[in-house]
Amino acid sequence: AQTVTQSQPEMSVQEAETVTLSCTYDTSESDYYLFWYKQPPSRQMILVIRQEAYKQQNATENRFSVNFQKAAKSFSLKISDSQLGDAAMYFCAYRIYQGGGADGLTFGKGTHLIIQP
């Protein structure tokens, strides 16, 4: 079974600073997807960024980037120029790739990100 581990229950960062959220996973599969989701107090799940395991290049989306280390099974999220609106729970998630979209996500326990003004 696949597992996703987020070792930081809570992180705090000053506004405009950079913060990195950690995520490791365990899988025997070679093809899979990794995601970071943001869940603000509204509890809506918002996709922040995703990474295909077969791609060596790290994904980036504006201020958000990942450091994907496939051999180490590590998938950290870096948020640059932190903004107050970034405050939320962040979940790392894994999904196996089986040639279709018919697989559920396995989530980590989440990291509560606090942005200090």
Residues 6+ apart with CB under 8 A from 72: 24
- Using CB under 8 A as the binding rule, the residues of this chain from 59 to 98 that contact other proteins are 91, 95, 97-98
- x/- mask, other proteins, residues 28-47, rule CB under 8 A, reads -----x-x------xxxx-x
Which residue, 3 or 14, is less far from other proteins as judged by CB? 3
| 16 is an interface residue for other proteins by CB under 8 A | no
Q: How many CB atoms lie within 10 A of CB 75?
A: 28
Which residue, 50 or 63, is less far from other proteins as judged by CB? 50
Q: Which of 59, 82, 108, 115 binds other proteins (CB under 8 A)?
A: 108
Question: Buried b vs exposed e over 27-54: b needs ≥16 C-beta within 10 Å?
Answer: beeeebbbbbbbeeeeeeeeebbebebe
Contact positions vs other proteins (CB under 8 A): 33, 35, 42-45, 47, 50, 52, 91, 95, 97-110
